[in-house]
């Protein structure tokens, strides 16, 4: 892990209720490439941050001081926003150039001093990005000669405007990143225009297809989750696993990784089930739903990473509630994982719930965001949407949680999701 000196935190005059957010950045293969680390002030106007320097420093402080960079980001890059003061500050040089992309905010006036500073950062090995680009202007040219990535905000752009914007950037050998991609159709258009990076949650929105059937592996996984919830015997679990060789291989691989302290390698389904225990087996099965079990791979897909992060975040946040129990935390984990099933299975939530014997409070949370579990799920969704106002309101309904608790739970959840990915790769 890189040794990083502390980053200055927000000043006394800056708002203290700053929430960390993160949004995935995908590559051409729809695989995770990076996370953008975001911040939002949880005041009345969540879109306004009075001090960009303090806010960015606060985000970096959480990432560095809570867990460390490798634990928080895993194998992925981190994109961070820099205003002019942070860009010119020596503090940014403590950020490792191999783990972070420096985004020059659209509000930065591109002066000679800024251009000189960007040139120096490039020579140090940093990757630079221009944020929220919406059209070429003369003032952009000096910076375009230096940046590696241009982030184009496609929201509100029609197809012709987007094409013209891309064409204007042809003289520069920059990578194009499409921001605020809301649908797969938009992503496809951007691919055709030459974009190679994509930011947004379009991959987590279900494209419902009439008559779509579950694959055999998906159906088996759902059946296995149901059997665990019903406390079925080990023999019945084995029988359901056996017709799925890819699924069995995946389970054995994950179990061997998770049980690294066991002297003897796990080679049978019965042994794997015994070593993992029912609680852990249920968790692995829920996560395996988001992989390609037939191929025995796919752990790095963005939907799986989002589901793992959401489930773990809900579990940690639930454990921090006043009077919380282990049972509530377990139910919170399941709620988080299950909440993305419609995107995975391309089916309405109500149809998915018919196949599983879930507790009523988990069902209510998934269907209508009701109860404590529903509020926790809404909190996770608000963080993902970068809506700090909603986060603050929900914390008021969840006694025992404060802003620091939420940020800590999120960074730990990101680290856990990254560790799951590393275990699968190994």
pLDDT tens for the 426 residues of the chain, in order? 233 333 333 333 333 455 667 788 999 988 888 888 776 554 433 334 445 566 566 666 666 665 566 666 767 888 988 888 888 888 788 788 999 999 999 889 999 999 999 999 999 999 999 998 988 889 999 999 999 999 999 988 899 999 999 999 999 999 999 998 988 889 999 999 999 999 987 777 665 544 556 666 677 778 888 888 888 888 888 888 777 776 777 777 666 665 445 556 666 777 777 777 888 888 888 887 776 544 444 445 788 888 888 999 999 999 999 888 888 998 999 899 999 888 888 788 888 888 888 889 999 999 999 999 999 999 999 988 878 888 889 999 999 898 888 888 988 888 788 776 655 444
Paired tokens of 306: 């989002």
Map residue 103 onto helix, strand or coil.
strand
pLDDT tens profile 187-203:
999 999 999 999 987 77
- Residue 5 maps to a domain: no
Rounded to two decimals, what is the model's pTM?
0.74
Q: Of 136, 170, 204, which one is at a domain's C-terminal end? A: 204
- Give 6-56 as a DSSP string: PPP---TTS-S-EEEEEEEEE-TTS-EEEEEEEEEE-SS-TT--S-HHHHH
Q: Which of 241, 261, 288 is the last residue of a domain?
A: 288
- Residue 362 included in any domain: yes
Distance CA 242, CA 220 (A): 10
- For residues 139 and 133, the answer to whether their CB atoms sit within 8 Å is no
What tokens appear for 168 in the block? 């204007």
Cβ atoms of 36 and 79 within 8 Å: the answer is yes
* 150 and 32 in a common domain: yes
Query: How far are the Cα atoms of 79, 129, 160, 188, 347 from residue 100, in angstroms, in the given order?
Result: 6, 11, 33, 27, 37
Tokens of 333: 């984990």
Query: Do residue 184 and residue 307 come from a single domain?
Result: no
Instruction: Clarify whether residues 62 and 159 are in a common domain.
Output: yes
Residue 162 lies in a domain: yes
**Gyration radius from the chain CA atoms:** 23
Q: Evaluate the CA torsion angle 281, 284, 288, 290 in order and state its sign.
A: positive
Angle among Cα 23, 361, 251 to the nearest 5 degrees reads: 60
Does residue 342 lie in a domain region?
A: yes
* Of 381, 25, 421, the residue nearest 203 (C-alpha): 25
CA neighbor of 76 nearest in space, from 101, 109, 105, 57: 101
**Which domain covers residue 240, as residue numbers?**
216-288
Q: Which residue has the tokens 């500050």?
A: 89
Closest Cα partner for 205 from 333, 307, 346, 313? 346
Pair type for strands 197-199 and 175-179: parallel
Whether 294 is in a domain gets the answer no
Q: Are residues 353 and 386 in the same domain?
A: yes
Residue with tokens 């049978």: 268
User: Do the Cβ atoms of 376 and 298 come closer than 8 Å?
Assistant: no
Cβ contacts of 137 within 8 Å, gap of 6 or more: none
Number of domains making up the chain: 3
Domain boundary among 161, 184, 204: 204
For residues 31 and 131, membership in a common domain is answered with yes
Same domain for 220 and 184, yes or no, is no
**Phi, psi angle pair for 102, to nearest 5°:** -95, 115
196 lies in the same domain as 94:
yes
């Amino acid at each position: 892990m890189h040794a990083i000196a502390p980053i200055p935190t927000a000043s006394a005059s800056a708002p203290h209720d700053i929430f960390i957010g993160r949004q995935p950045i995908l590559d051409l293969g729809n695989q995770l490439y990076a996370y953008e680390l975001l911040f939002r002030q949880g005041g009345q106007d969540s879109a306004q941050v009075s001090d960009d320097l303090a806010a960015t420093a606060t985000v970096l402080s959480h990432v560095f001081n809570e867990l460390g960079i490798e634990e928080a980001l895993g194998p992925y890059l981190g994109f961070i926003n820099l205003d002019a003061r942070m860009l010119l500050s020596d503090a940014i040089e403590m950020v490792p150039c191999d783990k972070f992309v420096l985004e020059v905010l659209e509000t930065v006036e591109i002066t000679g001093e800024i251009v000189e500073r960007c040139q120096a950062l490039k020579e140090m090995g940093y990757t630079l990005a221009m944020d929220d680009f919406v059209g070429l202007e003369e003032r952009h040219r000096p910076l375009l000669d230096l940046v590696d990535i241009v982030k184009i905000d496609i929201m509100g752009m029609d197809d012709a405007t987007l094409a013209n914007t891309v064409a204007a950037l042809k003289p520069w050998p920059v990578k194009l990143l499409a921001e605020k991609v809301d649908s797969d159709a938009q992503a496809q258009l951007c691919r055709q225009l030459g974009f190679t990076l994509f930011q947004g949650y379009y991959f987590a929105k279900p494209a419902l297809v009439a008559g779509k059937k579950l694959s055999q592996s998906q159906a088996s996984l759902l059946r296995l989750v149901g059997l665990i919830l019903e406390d079925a015997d080990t023999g019945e679990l084995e029988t359901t696993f056996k017709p799925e060789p890819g699924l069995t291989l995946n389970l054995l691989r994950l179990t061997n990784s998770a049980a690294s302290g066991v002297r003897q390698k796990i080679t049978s389904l019965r042994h794997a089930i015994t070593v993992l225990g029912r609680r852990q087996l249920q968790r692995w099965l829920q996560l395996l739903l988001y992989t390609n079990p037939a191929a025995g791979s796919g752990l790095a897909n963005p939907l799986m990473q989002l589901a793992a992060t959401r489930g773990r975040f809900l579990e940690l946040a639930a454990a921090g509630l006043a009077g919380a129990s282990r049972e509530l935390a377990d139910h919170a984990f399941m709620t988080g994982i299950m909440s993305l099933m419609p995107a995975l299975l391309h089916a309405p939530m109500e149809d998915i719930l018919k196949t599983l014997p879930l507790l009523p409070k988990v069902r209510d949370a998934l269907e209508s965001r009701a109860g404590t579990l529903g509020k926790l799920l809404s909190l996770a969704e608000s963080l993902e949407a970068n809506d700090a106002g909603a986060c603050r309101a929900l914390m008021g309904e969840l006694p025992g949680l404060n802003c620091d608790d939420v940020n800590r739970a999120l960074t730990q959840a990101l680290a856990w999701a990254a560790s799951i990915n590393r275990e699968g790769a190994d």
